[in-house]
């Protein structure tokens, strides 16, 4: 075992002393930057220790959200308090959480049966999160009402990248960006108009505790199947928002993976979701508009100006075609 592994095991054992736990076994599962996971056994129970990449105030929000969802009947891992009764453990200026271990498997969202259960799990998660009131000293995360500003911000960043690319006309990747950006900006403009003239602001005009919490990274890897139930894990990024936010991400990922804009497929996913949480016509309207915005083009090109060779011209061309085809299909649906 190398020194780094020994250091991680030593750190895990020291933190577990704050829980009055001397584990029978301890191993490192994952370490990327600050975020680290350990798997341990203690008194015939398997647990998961996690080092967070969050401030204490941010952790207060997400950790207490998870406790609330579980106590409200939601399917999320249990969080264990330390020996002092605190759910967040501070050690050497770092933050740690101890979770129950999920013995199941990752759900495969390409499999229709798994997709059905995953979407039911997502809607259950949304419903069970309503009513959460965070501790007063936590850093509250909310995206309610922010979409129009986010759309404008992404559009303006893409326009700035265009200006940078124009300055280097000999670079093939920059040239491709300049060639394809104008139709994308037009999609931005039309989507911004649509969201500003939709029921979006009315939907967001609610008290935070009446809003659901969105996971923001829901998908394969963060939804586990255990004993026939879908368990949602990794709640670090939860935020108050409309359920459409999580739905747009999961539907969009499938669209781009399979290059498929089928309205029937989208409606099938929504039917699975609505098993536990019926969406209003206004909810569906803003979901359609959010799906129309060129999020995936922006996601590809947002760092192009920092590294001209980070994305090749073929990828820019392909994602531009994807966004334009997606927009025209969804426009008919809307």
Q: Exposed/middle/buried for 331, CB within 10 Å: 0-12, 13-18, 19+?
A: middle
Q: Is the pLDDT of residue 334 over 80?
A: no
Q: Is the pLDDT of residue 1 over 60?
A: no
pLDDT, residue 308, reads 65
**Measured CA distances, 255 to 65, 108, 265, 294 (Å):** 30, 16, 9, 12
43 by DSSP, 3-state: which?
coil
**Tell me: the pLDDT tens digits for 277-302?**
999 999 999 999 999 999 999 999 98
Instruction: Please give the average per-residue pLDDT across 107-124, as a whole number.
Output: 94
Q: Whole-number mean pLDDT of the chain?
A: 93
> What percent of the chain stands above pLDDT 70?
99
**Tell me: the pLDDT tens digits for 214-248?**
999 998 889 999 999 999 999 999 999 999 999 99
Instruction: Please give the average per-residue pLDDT across 202-212, as a whole number.
Output: 96
Instruction: Please give the average per-residue pLDDT across 291-318, as a whole number.
Output: 87
pLDDT, residue 303, reads 83
Question: Domains of the chain by range and CATH?
Answer: 3-101 (3.30.200.20), 112-333 (3.90.1200.10)
Separation CA 213–CA 129 (nearest Å): 6
Instruction: Please give the average per-residue pLDDT across 129-133, as a whole number.
Output: 98
The closest of 20, 86, 80 to 50, measured between CA atoms, is 80
pLDDT, residue 30, reads 78
**Tell me: the pLDDT tens digits for 136-189?**
999 999 999 999 999 999 999 999 999 999 998 888 889 999 999 999 999 999
């Amino acid at each position: 075992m190398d020194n780094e592994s020994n250091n991680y095991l030593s750190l895990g054992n020291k933190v577990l002393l704050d829980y009055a736990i001397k584990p029978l076994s301890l191993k490192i599962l994952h370490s990327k930057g600050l975020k680290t996971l350990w798997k341990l056994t203690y008194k015939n129970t398997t647990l998961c220790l996690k080092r967070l990449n969050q401030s204490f105030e941010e952790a207060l929000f997400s950790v207490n959200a998870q406790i609330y969802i579980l106590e409200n009947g939601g399917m999320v891992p249990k969080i264990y308090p330390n020996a002092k009764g605190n759910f967040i453990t501070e050690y050497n200026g770092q933050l740690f959480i101890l979770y129950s271990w999920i013995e199941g498997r990752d759900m495969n969202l390409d499999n229709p049966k798994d997709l059905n259960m995953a979407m039911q799990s997502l809607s259950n998660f949304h419903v069970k999160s309503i009513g959460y009131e965070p501790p007063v000293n936590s850093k509250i995360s909310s995206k309610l009402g922010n979409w129009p500003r986010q759309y404008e911000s992404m559009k303006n960043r893409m326009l700035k990248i265009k200006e940078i690319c124009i300055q280097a006309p000999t670079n093939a990747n920059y040239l491709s960006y300049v060639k394809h950006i104008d139709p994308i900006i037009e999609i931005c403009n039309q989507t911004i108009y649509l969201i500003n003239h939709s029921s979006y602001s009315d939907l967001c005009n609610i008290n935070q505790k009446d809003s659901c919490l969105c996971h923001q990274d829901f998908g394969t890897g963060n939804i586990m199947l255990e004993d026939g139930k879908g368990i949602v894990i990794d709640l670090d990024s939860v935020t108050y928002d409309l359920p459409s936010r999580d739905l747009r991400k999961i539907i969009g990922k499938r669209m781009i993976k399979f290059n498929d804009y089928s309205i029937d497929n989208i409606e099938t996913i929504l039917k699975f979701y609505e098993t536990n949480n019926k969406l209003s016509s206004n909810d569906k309207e803003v979901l359609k508009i959010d799906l129309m915005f060129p999020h995936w083009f922006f996601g590809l090109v947002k760092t192009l100006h920092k590294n001209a060779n980070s994305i090749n011209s073929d990828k820019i061309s392909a994602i531009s075609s994807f966004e334009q085809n997606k927009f025209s299909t969804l426009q008919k649906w809307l």
